A and B are shown apart, each in its own frame.
Chain A
Amino acid sequence: MKESLTHIFLDAFLINNFVLCVFLGMCSFLGLSAKVATAWRMGVSVMFVIIVSDILSFAVNLLLVRFHAEYLRIIMFIVIIAATVQLTEMFIKKVSPALFRELGVYLPLITTNCAVLAVPIFQTGRGYDFVQSTVFAVAASGGYCAALVLLALVRERVMLSDVPSLARGTAMTLILAAVLSMAFMGFGGMGNGG
């Protein structure tokens, strides 16, 4: 059965949110969500990288299938991502040095973000066509960005409150993420209609 585009979008954005339900991109989710401004920038740059590398990997995957070299997928995908991150870095540096200074630290981190590698792997696994995979990439990266910003908003509030010294740091962040994840479980019912 061919999945409708709305279904793909809702599924990747809310129902199976990449961060809160599929646990991808956890390192940056826990590490970069202390401030909303940082979270926004990271989210948007990850979105950009995911969309570009996704379109490139779709093309490369066609080539790999054509030459029966599917076993090279993991290597090709990761090379594409590394190249995309490098290109993004150069592009931003050229176009807007100010933005580059702000993002500089985070850009290389995107290569080791599992959410970026997961998008091409999932879409080849599910056999999406070009439009479907583009929608999937936009939704998945949008979901990542949304989760990151949501957690950052909560964490900024928690910073003002009195947290027991034991729970300060990663443990508190994880509990907040659990609460957010429970909230996202509520979207589970939406998938059945599509």
Chain B
Amino acid sequence: MSEIVSCHNEPPTGITAEGNPFLNGLWKQNPVFVMVLGMCPTLAITNSVRNAISMGLATTFVMVVSYGLISMIRRLIPRQVRIATYIAILAMAVTVVDFLVKAISIPIYLALGAYIPLIVSNCLTLERAEAFAGKQPVGKSMLDGLGMGFGFTIALTMLGAVREVLGAGTFLGVHLFSKNFEPWVLFLLPPGGFISLAMWLLFFAAWKERSAKKAAERESAQPELQVAVEARA
């Protein structure tokens, strides 16, 4: 990760505008594993799969709605006050979500607690508004919000699965192991959040290194083939 917080770094050029914005957010530029944004809910809310999914969906809703609005009025917003405008629009969407979650399920509302209002100051939502929705047409921006939101949900669920299975021995509340299973409570506590995210990042780094090595091997194997073909000719 770079020196200064990723929140305000320019995203790598070319990636945001090209390709399918939905698929981009889903995996290639996954907000958590690749861009390392939106860390607060990622670490705080993932102690169970249910919380992780609801938090992810709430964030997705906020992003789709507010990016649509931001993109619609992007030509009217003066450059100097754009951040403040984005924040006001995000805050409106978050207020809606706050009431929505309360209406759908009180237990989830209590579990997510202060982290729903905190979606406003999630660096992910603001960063994408600045990098994408403020510059692109409405449809594309909403698609980007949807992709980023689902990518965020997937990442949260992956973290939540590790923490819930190891920390409580359950998945979505269903017991997985026999009664002898001793839950590893540390994974439900704050340090577990840091550790499991670090483990996922290590796993992906190892994966990347392995596939890079394989690609390099294939490349080095190619010239030999070439030579053999030429010799035969």
Contact = CB atoms under 8 A, between A and B. Distances in A.
B94 interface: yes
B117 interface: yes
B198 A171 contact: yes
B83 interface: yes
A167 interface: yes
B94 A74 contact: yes
Q: Which of B84, B198, B206 has the most CB of A within 10 A?
A: B198
B209 to A, nearest CB: 7
Nearest to B198: A174
A152 B36 CA distance: 19
B121 A114 contact: yes
Nearest to B194: A178
Contacts of B223: none
Contacts of B206: 166
A178 B198 contact: yes
B4 A23 contact: no
B137 to A, nearest CB: 25
Nearest to B6: A31
Interface string B92-123: 10110011000000000000001001101111
Contacts, number: 141
Interface string A122-140: 1001000000000000000
Contacts of A24: 40, 44, 118
Interface in B25-71: 36-40, 42-44
Nearest to A166: B205
Contacts of A166: 202, 205-206, 209
A74 to B, nearest CB: 5
Interface residues of A, number: 52
Interface string B117-134: 110111100100000000
Contact of A71 (B95, B195, B197): B95
Given A26-B39, A178-B194, A31 B83 contact: no
A82 B201 CA distance: 33
A24 B94 CA distance: 18
A21 interface: yes
B121 A116 contact: yes
Contacts of A34: 3
Contact of A170 (B7, B120, B201): B201
Q: How large is the interface on B (under 10, 10 to 19, 20 to 34, 35 or more residues)?
A: 35 or more
A88 interface: no
Interface stretch (A4-12, A54-62, A105-113): A105-113
Interface in A179-194: 179, 181-182, 185
A75 B6 contact: no
Nearest to A16: B190
B138 interface: no
A20 interface: yes
B158 interface: no
B122 A32 contact: no
B97 to A, nearest CB: 10
A141 to B, nearest CB: 15
B114 A122 contact: yes
Interface of B: 1-8, 36-40, 42-44, 83-84, 87-88, 91-92, 94-95, 98-99, 114, 117-118, 120-123, 126, 186, 189-195, 197-198, 201-202, 205-206, 209
13 contacts: A21-B190, A26-B40, A26-B42, A31-B7, A32-B4, A34-B3, A71-B95, A75-B95, A114-B121, A121-B114, A121-B118, A171-B198, A171-B201
Lowest 6 CB-CB distances: which A-B pairs, in order? A31-B5, A26-B39, A178-B194, A174-B198, A23-B44, A171-B201
